[in-house]
């Protein structure tokens, strides 16, 4: 079972370049999430999509955009990458977005911005 | 906005020891408390989701309790094994589904 699949796994960008991180889930989940994980800090929510067709900001949305392309796919875009966006990015999904459903995580995308 | 704190930050125990760690959160605006296990080079894996005061959940040698009135949850591991070595994350949620994660407790179990 694939679960939550993220691509790419690694990427190096130069400051100012743009990039889209892809996420797809095959569990028929309604809700999807993007987090970033930095040393010494917990996972922080960037954006989430409670259901197909909706997106909302999380704790740290600045510098990012998202698209819920369909029920399976939720992409994260960096329009003009900055060194402060060097991080490990995790996509997650849950059956519903009501807060009492466990989230299922992808393997992460390690992004370095020079 | 929830502020979730975990202690200790790291823990080293011997194989066979039982251990526990704490997650604290503001008792107001609480909706659910999640525990995740995160092994190195893998992705976080859900252990428990708890919503009711006094709730206790168990999975094998791992169990968790929840006190929503005083704003804390304990995770217990009985008879720790080297394969229990991981970072244990807790997260609080509101009913919008947003999770606020603590920084995690990293457990190392020595054979």
The mean per-residue pLDDT over the stretch A83-104 comes to 94
Do the Cβ atoms of A90 and B43 come within 8 Å? yes
Q: Which of B34, B35, B44, B105 to mutate to test the interface with A (most CBs of A within 10 A)?
A: B44
Strand arrangement of the beta sheet that strand A4-7 belongs to: A4-7, A19-25, A74-78, A64-68
Do the Cβ atoms of B34 and A102 come within 8 Å? yes
DSSP character at residue A89: E
Whether B92 contacts B4, CB under 8 Å: yes
**How many alpha carbons lie under 13 Å from residue A53 in its C-beta half-sphere?**
0
Do the Cβ atoms of B97 and A107 come within 8 Å? no
pLDDT tens profile A10-28: 999 999 999 999 999 999 9
3 state DSSP class of A85: helix
Judge whether residue B1 has pLDDT over 60: no
40-69 of A, contacting B, C-beta below 8 A: 40-45, 48, 50, 56, 58-59
Q: What percent of chain B has pLDDT over 70?
A: 98
Q: How far does B15 lie from chain A, in Å, by closest CA?
A: 27
The mean per-residue pLDDT over the stretch A69-98 comes to 95
Task: Enumerate chain B positions whose Cβ falls within 8 A of a Cβ in A.
Answer: 1, 4, 31-32, 34, 42-46, 49, 51, 89, 91, 93-104
Smallest Cβ–Cβ distance between B97 and the set A40, A98, A108 belongs to A98
Q: What percent of chain A has pLDDT over 90?
A: 89
Q: What are phi and psi of A84, to 5 degrees?
A: -65, -10
Residue-level pLDDT at B94:
77
- Contact list in B for residue A50 (CB cut-off 8 A) is 96-97
The burial class, CB within 10 Å (0-12 / 13-18 / 19+), for B87 is middle
Which H helix or E strand runs over A35?
Answer: strand A31-37
Whether B73 contacts B33, CB under 8 Å: yes
Rounded Cα gap, residues A41 and A50, in angstroms: 24
**How many alpha carbons lie under 13 Å from residue B3 in its C-beta half-sphere?**
0
pLDDT tens profile B2-45: 689 999 999 999 999 999 999 999 877 778 999 999 998 899 99
DSSP character at residue A73: B
Q: How far is CA A65 from CA A78, B62, B64, in A?
A: 7, 38, 36
Q: What are phi and psi of A85, to 5 degrees?
A: -95, 5
Rg (CA), chain A: 13
Do the Cβ atoms of A43 and B101 come within 8 Å? yes
The mean per-residue pLDDT over the stretch B79-102 comes to 91
């Amino acid at each position: 079972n694939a679960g939550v699949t993220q691509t790419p796994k690694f990427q190096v960008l130069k400051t100012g370049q743009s990039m889209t991180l892809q996420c797809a889930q095959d569990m028929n989940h309604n809700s999807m999430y993007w987090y970033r994980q930095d040393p010494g800090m917990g996972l922080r929510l960037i954006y989430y999509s409670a259901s197909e067709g909706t997106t909302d900001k999380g704790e740290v949305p600045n510098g990012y955009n998202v698209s819920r392309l369909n029920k399976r796919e939720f992409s994260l875009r960096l329009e003009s990458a900055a060194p402060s966006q060097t991080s490990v990015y995790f996509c997650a999904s849950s059956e519903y977005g009501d807060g009492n459903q466990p989230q299922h995580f992808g393997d992460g995308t390690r992004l370095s911005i020079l | 906005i929830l502020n979730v704190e975990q202690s200790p930050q790291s823990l080293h125990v011997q194989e066979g020891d039982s251990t526990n760690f704490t997650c604290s959160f503001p008792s107001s605006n609480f909706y659910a408390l999640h525990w995740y296990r995160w092994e190195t080079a893998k992705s976080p894996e859900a252990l428990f989701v708890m919503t009711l005061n006094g709730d206790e959940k168990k999975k094998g040698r791992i169990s968790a309790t929840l006190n929503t009135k005083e704003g804390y949850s304990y995770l217990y591991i009985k008879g720790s094994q080297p394969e229990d070595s991981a970072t244990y994350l807790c997260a609080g949620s509101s009913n919008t589904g947003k999770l606020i994660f603590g920084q995690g407790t990293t457990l190392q179990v020595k054979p």
